[in-house]
């Protein structure tokens, strides 16, 4: 007893107590926190599914059935996965309006949050392609030249060499890929909408998809987002080269004339 109280007065006692307390809270946090956040994730997920189910009953069930089993007006959605929903609703194809050879793109009527909820609900019906994360579809650093090769062997027969699209049989068509976001490009390859074959990661790894996205962006995307501001008609290297010729060379000639004129003046005087 005496020993303990003596130690308590030791100048380092406070530090020791503080360290012990910190270690204890750290340990407690490690023991409880992950379980806590996992629980929170789970509740958030089931909330999203519930909200998605409500949206689904209003906007989708008439064609795809109350449990997603499909009707004569729309295919079953069991096992299509969240990526298919994100693609179909995110590009405005769904909800479909009129029957026809192919459901066209329209104005998107759901917010991204609602699309996520719809996707969560459909994913809960059966495992399928999962919505890709930014790390999967962002083409930064991908090889556009390799992507061009892959595009020519896998996509060009329908979408044309630079992705401007083309007609298929029976009134169907492969749409232009201009202005399609990297995420939707990735999801189209994952899910293969309509007559398009799917390219799952097993046959076309993530990196190859990124290369293709980089290629499509290189040939098309320039028109959609010109980092330099002016698009020069977006006609590619020819028009841009012409611009450099006319204005660049023009400027050089102007400088040359100015210099010549001034040296001439200098000589005269
Ligand atoms: C008017 C009927 C109709 C409505 C409403 C509708 N769909 Fe569809 N949906 C279709 C048809 C038809 C197809 C097949 C499209 C095709 O082959 O071009 C389809 C296809 C899909 C696919 C692709 C399935 C696959 O195999 O890849 C998804 C995902 C989908 N719909 C989700 C939805 C969601 C979510 C809603 C509600 C927001 C919705 N649909 C509303 C008729 C409808
Ligand atoms: C057999 C022909 C065919 C091939 C091969 C094909 N596609 Fe498609 N693709 C289609 C059709 C048809 C659609 C339209 C689907 C729809 O509207 O439901 C489409 C749609 C798309 C879309 C959606 C565009 C939009 O406007 O939202 C993308 C992106 C796409 N394809 C990319 C690719 C890529 C990349 C490849 C190669 C890896 C490829 N496709 C190969 C036929 C094809």
Separation of CA 192 and ligand 2 centre (Å) = 7
pLDDT in tens, the chain (269 residues): 555 555 666 767 676 666 676 676 666 666 666 556 677 888 888 999 999 999 999 999 999 999 999 999 999 999 999 999 999 999 999 999 877 788 999 999 999 999 999 999 999 999 999 999 999 999 999 999 999 999 999 999 999 888 888 888 888 889 999 989 999 999 999 999 999 999 999 999 999 999 999 999 998 755 444 555 444 444 455 555 656 666 777 788 888 888 888 887 666 65
Nearest CA to ligand 1 atom 29: 85
Q: Could you give the C-alpha distances from 247 to 139, 229, 238, 254, in angstroms and in order?
A: 33, 17, 14, 10
Closest CA to 64 of 73, 55, 53, 51: 73
Q: How many CB atoms lie within 10 A of CB 188?
A: 24
d(CA 157, CA 211): 18
Q: Which of the listed residues 95, 120, 194 should we mutate to test ligand 1's pocket, taking the one with most ligand atoms within 8 A of CB? A: 95
Q: Which of the listed residues 104, 196, 198, 212 should we mutate to test ligand 2's pocket, taking the one with most ligand atoms within 8 A of CB? A: 196
Contact between 119 and 131 (Cβ < 8 Å): yes
Return the ligand number nearest the Cα of 209.
Answer: 2
Nearest CA to ligand 2 atom 13: 174
pLDDT at residue 259, rounded to an integer? 85
**Residues in contact with ligand 1 (CB, 6 Å cut-off):** 59-60, 62-64, 73-75, 77, 80, 84-85, 88-89, 94-96, 102-103, 118, 191, 193-194
pLDDT at residue 263, rounded to an integer? 81
Q: Which of the listed residues 88, 106, 119 should we mutate to test ligand 1's pocket, taking the one with most ligand atoms within 8 A of CB? A: 88
d(CA 72, CA 242): 56
**Residues in contact with ligand 2 (CB, 6 Å cut-off):** 91, 93, 102-103, 105, 154-155, 157-159, 168, 172, 174-175, 177, 180, 184-185, 188-189, 193-197, 199, 212
pLDDT at residue 3, rounded to an integer? 59
pLDDT at residue 242, rounded to an integer? 59
pLDDT at residue 261, rounded to an integer? 85
d(CA 89, CA 84): 8
């Amino acid at each position: 007893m005496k020993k303990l109280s003596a130690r308590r007065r030791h100048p380092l006692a406070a530090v020791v107590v503080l360290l012990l307390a910190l270690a204890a809270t750290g340990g407690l946090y490690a023991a409880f926190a992950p379980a806590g956040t996992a629980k929170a994730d789970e509740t958030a997920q089931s909330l999203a599914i519930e909200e998605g189910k409500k949206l689904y009953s209003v906007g989708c069930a008439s064609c795809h059935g109350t449990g997603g089993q499909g009707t004569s007006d729309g295919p079953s959605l069991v096992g299509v996965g969240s990526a298919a929903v994100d693609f179909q609703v995110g590009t405005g194809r769904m909800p479909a309006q009129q029957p026809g050879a192919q459901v066209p793109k329209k104005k998107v009527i759901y917010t991204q949050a609602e699309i996520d909820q719809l996707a969560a609900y459909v994913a809960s019906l059966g495992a399928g392609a999962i919505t890709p994360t930014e790390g999967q579809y962002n083409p930064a650093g991908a090889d556009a030249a390799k992507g061009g090769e892959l595009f020519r062997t896998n996509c060009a027969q329908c979408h044309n060499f630079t992705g401007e699209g083309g007609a298929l049989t029976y009134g169907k068509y492969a749409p232009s890929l201009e202005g399609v976001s990297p995420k939707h490009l990735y999801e189209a390859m994952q899910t293969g909408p309509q007559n398009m074959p799917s390219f799952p990661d097993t046959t076309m790894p993530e990196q190859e998809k990124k290369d293709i996205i980089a290629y499509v962006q290189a040939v098309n995307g320039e028109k959609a987002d010109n980092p330099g501001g002016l698009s020069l008609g977006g006609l590619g290297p020819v028009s841009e080269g012409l611009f450099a010729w006319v204005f660049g060379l023009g400027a050089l000639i102007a400088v040359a004339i100015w210099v010549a004129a001034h040296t001439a003046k200098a000589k005269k005087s």
